[in-house]
Amino acid sequence: MPNRLELSGITKQFPGVLANDNVSFAVKPGEIHALLGENGAGKSTLVKMIYGIMQPDSGEIRWNGEPVVVPNPKAARRLGIGMVFQHFSLFEALTVLENIALGMDAKIPSRELEARIREVMQTYGLALDPHRTVATLSVGERQRIEIVRALLLNPQLLIMDEPTSVLTPQEVEQLFTVLRQLASEGCSILYISHKLHEIKALCDTATILRGGKLVDTCDPKEETSRSMAEKMIGTGLKDIVKPAGRSFGEPKLVVNRLLTHRTGHFDVPVTDVSFTVRAGEILGIAGVAGNGQNALLDALSGEIRSEDREAITIDGKAIGHMDTTERRRHGLCAVPEERNGHAAVADFSLSDNSVLTARDRLGMVVMGLINSGAARTYTGKVIADFAVKALGPAATAGSLSGGNLQKYIMGREILQKPTVLVVSQPTWGVDAGAAAAIHQALVDLAAAGSAIVVISQDLDELRTLSDTLAVINMGRLSESRPVAEFSVDEIGLLMGGVHGAEAAA
């Protein structure tokens, strides 16, 4: 049997970037094939060429043994190639059925289409009400629409670009069941993800790209997550180096009985939160999403001001009543979880984004005028020190991939050398190499004497990074203790809301 898909010598040049450099590999019928690589390695570009969104500069695509040219997505669908995008292109105000109808090339009467949709959902156990409005659906349900849309065409190859980065573990499990069933029916799957344990659980083969070049094709079941990560970044994955025998200095950030008020429906306020972070210390705050992490970050950054000025002190100075700008002046910098629109303005250049948070600490504004030279120089330093893949300080924040934007934002705050840094989800959606770099930068900042608070849902991250750990549940923070004293079970119990004495009993 010929290969389902065979690429040979695919090359794609963008202005300033060689996104794919002579890439060749093959996908067999019924194979689940992983495509791995760091952010910017060229994975999305490669699959876009297979799906006809872009054209390769050179190279050949063979489909079931025959050389083909795929001029547009419509032609790809006619060949039997389906794709589920990283960012869904759905119409929020329209129903599931209408959304699917819009994406179909053939005009099918809506009753017949609905019957076919129900049939596909039945076959693959995808539950979805065709008459629901998309705006009311969860992310996982939205993805199901895209999958159903692709499956309606009986594809022989299904391409999925980072399908799980926004799904809950249960949704991921359901997705894998569907994908395995599809593969068993002979449909090939090209699967892109950063989550290496997923690749090990799901995929038969993995092709690894680095800087646009194919560096290896391997069997993920025979590899470890670490060995695949090392192939992706090209060097050994560095362990975080924590200077041995560290001692902590004076208390830097003292939070005393901090509380916020409920503002929206889904908002969980924090009540009676107290903790102390000393110079050189990294405090990790664990917890299941939606337990008050957002309120805590806002209350610390100054987006929510406290009625009690003594609720937050830095170096003994009360800052509870101050806004974000004043707190930054006093040495407290913060990175919220949401990058686009909260931590950075997508339409602004990186340089302007630097001015937004670093202007006071680094003197980028002189007598009301922006010193754009200083902003550019600083942004250039962030880009260089944190290996941000961007065209330069003038590139807009929105043009960066998620991982690169995160590196930029972390760099922008860390290089300001804040007395206290509060970060939420520092490595969300970031590949292994970049995550290690961000972790190391945080450790180095602490070693230089800053106090750091890391709010994260990733327990592995917290256990490697933190010196002390506390758990947030329903807006209440547990007592903080050295991380070594916690067992995983105990953290789990605290995250579920079982406290101190009960947990011990």
Closest separation in Å from C-beta 444 to another protein: 37
DSSP three-state, residue 370: strand
Query: If you ran DSSP here, which 8-state letter would residue 167 be given?
Result: -
Question: Which residue is closest to Mg ion by CB?
Answer: 44
Is 43 or 231 the residue whose CB approaches ligand ADP more closely? 43
Which long-range contacts (C-beta less than 8 Å, at least 24 apart) are formed by 304-309?
Answer: 304/260, 306/258, 306/259, 306/260, 308/257, 308/258
> How far, in Å, are 64, 288, 470 from residue 479 at the CA level?
61, 17, 6
Q: Do 292 and 268 form a contact (C-beta atoms < 8 A)?
A: yes
CB-facing half-sphere around the CA of 353: CA atoms within 13 A: 33
Is 46 or 304 the residue whose CB approaches Mg ion more closely? 46
Is 93 or 127 the residue whose CB approaches another protein more closely? 93
* Rounded Cα distance, 262 and 31, in Å: 50
DSSP three-state, residue 452: strand
Closest separation in Å from C-beta 37 to ligand ADP: 5
Is 45 or 306 the residue whose CB approaches ligand ADP more closely? 45
* Rounded Cα distance, 489 and 496, in Å: 11
Q: Helix 225-233 to helix 432-447 angle, to the nearest 10 degrees?
A: 90
Contact partner, 40, from Mg ion, another protein, ligand ADP, none, Cβ < 5-8 Å per class: ligand ADP
Question: Which residue is closest to ligand ADP by CB?
Answer: 44
Q: Does 45 bind Mg ion (CB under 5 A)?
A: no
Contact partner, 91, from Mg ion, ligand ADP, another protein, none, Cβ < 5-8 Å per class: another protein
Q: Does 40 bind ligand ADP (CB under 6 A)?
A: yes
Contact partner, 107, from ligand ADP, Mg ion, another protein, none, Cβ < 5-8 Å per class: another protein
CA angle 308, 310, 313 (to 5 degrees): 135
Residue of 54, 92, 57 whose CA lies nearest to 72: 54
Q: Does 45 bind ligand ADP (CB under 6 A)?
A: yes
Q: Which residues pair with 428 in a beta bridge?
A: none
Residue of 42, 55, 26, 62 whose CA lies nearest to 213: 42
Phi, psi of 435 (to 5 degrees): -60, -45
Is 91 or 219 the residue whose CB approaches another protein more closely? 91
Q: Does 43 bind ligand ADP (CB under 6 A)?
A: yes
Contact partner, 69, from Mg ion, ligand ADP, another protein, none, Cβ < 5-8 Å per class: none
Closest separation in Å from C-beta 105 to another protein: 8
The correct pick among 5, 7, 10, 19 for binding ligand ADP (CB under 6 A) is: 19
Which residues contact another protein by CB under 8 A? 72-74, 89-94, 98, 101-103, 107, 133, 135
Q: How many CB atoms lie within 10 A of CB 500?
A: 10
Stretch that binds ligand ADP, among 13-21, 295-303, 350-358, 415-423 (CB under 6 A): 13-21
Stretch that binds ligand ADP, among 32-40, 57-65, 183-191, 446-454 (CB under 6 A): 32-40
Contact partner, 320, from ligand ADP, Mg ion, another protein, none, Cβ < 5-8 Å per class: none
The correct pick among 20, 44, 379, 427 for binding Mg ion (CB under 5 A) is: 44
Closest separation in Å from C-beta 103 to another protein: 6
Residues numbered 354 to 413 that lie near ligand ADP (CB under 6 A) are 389, 401
Contact partner, 89, from Mg ion, ligand ADP, another protein, none, Cβ < 5-8 Å per class: another protein
Is 248 or 348 the residue whose CB approaches ligand ADP more closely? 348
Is 57 or 490 the residue whose CB approaches another protein more closely? 57
> How far, in Å, are 91, 202, 426 from residue 413 at the CA level?
36, 37, 12
Q: Do 292 and 345 form a contact (C-beta atoms < 8 A)?
A: no
Stretch that binds ligand ADP, among 36-44, 166-174, 303-311, 370-378 (CB under 6 A): 36-44
Contact partner, 353, from ligand ADP, another protein, Mg ion, none, Cβ < 5-8 Å per class: none
CB-based contacts of 442: which residues, under 8 Å, 6+ apart? 282, 410, 414, 421, 423, 426, 452, 454, 465
Closest separation in Å from C-beta 436 to Mg ion: 20
Q: How many Å from the N-terminal Cα to the C-terminal Cα in the chain?
A: 62
The correct pick among 44, 95, 349, 353 for binding ligand ADP (CB under 6 A) is: 44
Q: Does 53 bind ligand ADP (CB under 6 A)?
A: no
Cα dihedral 285, 355, 404, 449, rounded to 10, equals -40
> How far, in Å, are 192, 194, 318, 405, 489 from residue 20 at the CA level?
16, 18, 54, 21, 45
CA angle 473, 409, 299 (to 5 degrees): 35
The correct pick among 7, 23, 32, 41 for binding ligand ADP (CB under 6 A) is: 41
Closest separation in Å from C-beta 246 to another protein: 48
DSSP three-state, residue 192: strand
Contact partner, 389, from ligand ADP, another protein, Mg ion, none, Cβ < 5-8 Å per class: ligand ADP
Is 194 or 412 the residue whose CB approaches ligand ADP more closely? 194
- Residue ranges that bind ligand ADP, judged by CB under 6 A: 14, 17, 19, 37, 39-45, 389, 401
- Residue ranges that bind Mg ion, judged by CB under 5 A: 44
